[in-house]
């Protein structure tokens, strides 16, 4: 696996002007969160060859991460609009970053309502009243599944996915009769890629301009085929890893 890596210290970061450093730190936070949520959503998708009774649990898990990703992208766009980036500065960042910024502008110009709706009603918190209408419209034979073990990490249920997805689609169709949730999440995926491209270029440009930190190529051993299962053996997982975060704030080895 080939990666790029930039290493720097706090003293290096202190060289960045005071009015720019908070923006850089915000960008790093956004990049981290978008990357983690995008990966979690993608890795929660069931491989095509694997279709079994747990597939709906995988969809539920992926839907959760996609809702959070949508909400975080909405917030990131609102922050990005407040960061100084005139035409001359975007030219300095280069063509790819400029194209990503323009694509984000088009996306949020068209879909701002949906990003905001999911962020406010279906992501960080969800109230029963937001899905009561879609629940009432379900047929009496609509099937639901609740998975659980004595370990709460393995609890999954698809009721929220069913009623929330229907509620979101109803809102979508009120503004666009041809809209559907699957197509919108394709837009979310593309927006995450464009946001990451723009912020990574902006971050590396800032570090290169004000510090001596340089990017280097790193090759790591290829890992196994990745998958984030919704249903797994928690007892077996606990034998090989620790969930405890040390008081120092560092993750355990």
Q: What is the pLDDT of residue 105?
A: 95
First to last CA, the chain: 21
Q: What is the pLDDT of residue 67?
A: 92
Q: What is the pLDDT of residue 47?
A: 59
Q: What is the residue extent of each domain of the chain?
A: 2-238
Secondary structure of 15-77 in the HEC alphabet?
CCCCCCHHHHHHHHHHHHHHHHHHHHHHHHCCCCCCCCCCHHHHHHHHHHHHHHHHHHHHHHH
Q: What is the pLDDT of residue 106?
A: 95
Establish how many alpha carbons lie within 13 A of residue 250's alpha carbon, considering only the half-sphere containing its beta carbon.
3
Number of H helices, E strands in the chain: 9, 4
The series of mean pLDDT values per 10 residues for the chain, 253 residues long, is 82 92 92 93 70 74 91 94 84 92 94 90 80 84 80 74 84 74 89 95 91 82 71 65 50 46
Q: What is the pLDDT of residue 115?
A: 92
> What is the value of pTM for the model shown?
0.84
With contact defined as beta carbons under 8 Å apart, do 100 and 195 qualify? yes
């Amino acid at each position: 696996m080939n990666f790029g890596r930039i290493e720097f210290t706090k003293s290096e970061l202190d060289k960045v002007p005071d009015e720019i450093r908070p923006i850089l730190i915000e960008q790093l936070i956004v990049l981290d969160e978008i990357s983690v949520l995008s990966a979690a959503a993608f890795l929660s998708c069931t491989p095509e060859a694997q279709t079994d009774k747990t597939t709906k649990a995988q969809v539920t898990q992926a839907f959760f991460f996609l809702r959070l990703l949508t909400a975080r992208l909405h917030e990131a766009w609102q922050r990005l609009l407040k960061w100084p980036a005139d035409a001359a500065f975007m030219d300095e960042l280069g063509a790819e970053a400029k194209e990503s910024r323009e694509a984000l502008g088009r996306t949020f110009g068209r879909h701002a309502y949906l990003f905001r709706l999911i962020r406010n009603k279906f992501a960080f918190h969800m109230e029963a009243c937001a899905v009561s209408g879609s629940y009432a419209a379900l047929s009496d034979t609509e099937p639901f599944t609740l998975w659980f073990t004595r370990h709460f990490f393995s609890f999954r249920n698809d009721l929220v996915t069913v009623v929330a997805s229907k509620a979101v689609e109803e809102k979508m169709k009120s503004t666009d009769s041809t809209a559907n949730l699957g197509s919108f999440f394709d837009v979310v995926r593309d927006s995450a890629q464009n946001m990451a491209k723009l912020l990574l270029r902006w971050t590396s440009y800032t570090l290169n301009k004000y510090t001596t930190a340089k990017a280097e190529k790193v090759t790591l051993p290829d890992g196994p085929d990745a998958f984030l299962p919704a249903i797994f053996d928690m007892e077996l997982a606990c034998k090989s890893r620790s969930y405890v975060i040390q008081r120092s704030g560092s993750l355990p080895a």
